Amino acid sequence: MTGKLELTIDDQKVEVVAGSSVLEAALANDISIPHLCHHPDLKPAGACRTCGVEIDGGRMAMSCQTPVAAGMKVRTSSPAVDHARRTTLELLIADHYTDCLACPLNTDCDLLKAAAHVGISRERLERMRGPSELLPVDRSNPFFEYDPNKCIVCGICVRTCDEIVGLGVLDFVNRGYRTVIGTFGNKPFIDSVCESCGECVVRCPVSALAPKQAELPAREVQTTCVYCGVGCGIYLGVKGNRVVSARGDRQRPSNQGSLCVKGRYGYRFINHPERLATPLIKNNGRFDKASWDEALDLIAKNFTANKGEQFAAFTSAKCTNEENYLLQKFTRAVMRTNTIDHCARL
């Protein structure tokens, strides 16, 4: 069993789980340390250099990579720490996109929050930004886009695709100020092996990776994705009478917050004007709208008249195991045939 230990952060005694990092210890106790490349789902990288703290009155260390120790004394702010953090952030901002007001993340941007933490005002932020060459935005993916001008090269997307998704689509390309993230051969996303799951997009701390259609929901409804038998937990965002967003449920054991491309982006069919909303019965080659009673009566009549080898059932990966079991039972026991198959993938 993992034990607990005590340390001091900014004169406050805190008790944390042994093995935590200093950053995790601080965040768990509502003590703020700016950080841009840390994400709780990923291994620490120490890449952004903004989470520096002073340890035991002298040594400066990246808090995301420093394990806690019993009796440790941590200062999240000191002249040396503040100076290093401010310089790092100013360098990042100087090379960043210039129009925060037009950015969809605007009020929820981790870079702006870190800048506010060290006291860089929006006015100073605008002054610091030099004219820089605008790089082309990759809009090739149908669901999200990558704007290298907003990228702070934190590597969260690279590590997400590697550590969580297991595909390793992304890596750093170029060097120095020209460093951005890219796919193998720096091809557009659409020509890479990216599966469009959006796991990297939801973790991007700025809006360098951003969904193409983003609407803030008025409320969210907890439900289960219906696309396949994994049954991922999902929150559908609703605005008016429309579904406008989807996000994974971190508490659901089957997916722990992750979604595939269908669960994350495949909700637009719900409000599609061409969506089939009533049963249709074919009469003289033409499909006519029918009530559910009419449709079910017709099905029952035709099933009764077509038992045996004239009947075949084809079931779906969208159904649960229990539903698939019931259909094969119905096919064999009621319809008296073994002709049943299943689409093992969607």
- In the bound state with ligand SF4, the residue whose beta carbon lies nearer, of 55 and 109, is 109
Selection from 213, 206, 212 nearest residue 180 by Cα: 206
Provide the binding-site residues for ligand SF4, judged by CB under 6 A.
151-157, 160-161, 165, 167, 169-170, 181, 194-200, 204, 206, 208-209, 225, 227-228, 230-232, 255, 259-260, 262-263
DSSP character string of 186-198: G--GGGSS-----
Identity of the residue numbered 279: P
- In the bound state with ligand SF4, the residue whose beta carbon lies nearer, of 9 and 259, is 259
- In the bound state with ligand SF4, the residue whose beta carbon lies nearer, of 100 and 153, is 153
Q: Least CB distance from residue 327 to ligand SF4, whole Å?
A: 19
Q: Measure the CA–CA gap between 332 and 312, rounded to whole angstroms.
A: 10
Q: Least CB distance from residue 272 to ligand SF4, whole Å?
A: 18
- In the bound state with ligand SF4, the residue whose beta carbon lies nearer, of 214 and 230, is 230
Q: Least CB distance from residue 4 to ligand SF4, whole Å?
A: 33
Q: Least CB distance from residue 85 to ligand SF4, whole Å?
A: 18
Q: Measure the CA–CA gap between 320 and 300, rounded to whole angstroms.
A: 23
Q: Least CB distance from residue 205 to ligand SF4, whole Å?
A: 6
- In the bound state with ligand SF4, the residue whose beta carbon lies nearer, of 8 and 140, is 140
- In the bound state with ligand SF4, the residue whose beta carbon lies nearer, of 53 and 208, is 208
Q: Is residue 265 exposed (0-12), middle (13-18) or buried (19+ Cβ within 10 Å)?
A: buried
* 110-117 helix and 79-94 helix, angle to the nearest 10 degrees: 140
Q: Least CB distance from residue 74 to ligand SF4, whole Å?
A: 26
Q: What are phi and psi of 200, to 5 degrees?
A: -70, -35
Q: Please identify the residue of the shown chain whose CB is closest to the bound ligand SF4.
A: 263
- In the bound state with ligand SF4, the residue whose beta carbon lies nearer, of 33 and 157, is 157
Q: Least CB distance from residue 174 to ligand SF4, whole Å?
A: 13
Selection from 226, 81, 225, 227 nearest residue 235 by Cα: 225
Q: Measure the CA–CA gap between 68 and 174, rounded to whole angstroms.
A: 35
Q: Measure the CA–CA gap between 287 and 281, rounded to whole angstroms.
A: 5
Tally of CB atoms within 10 A around 77:
15
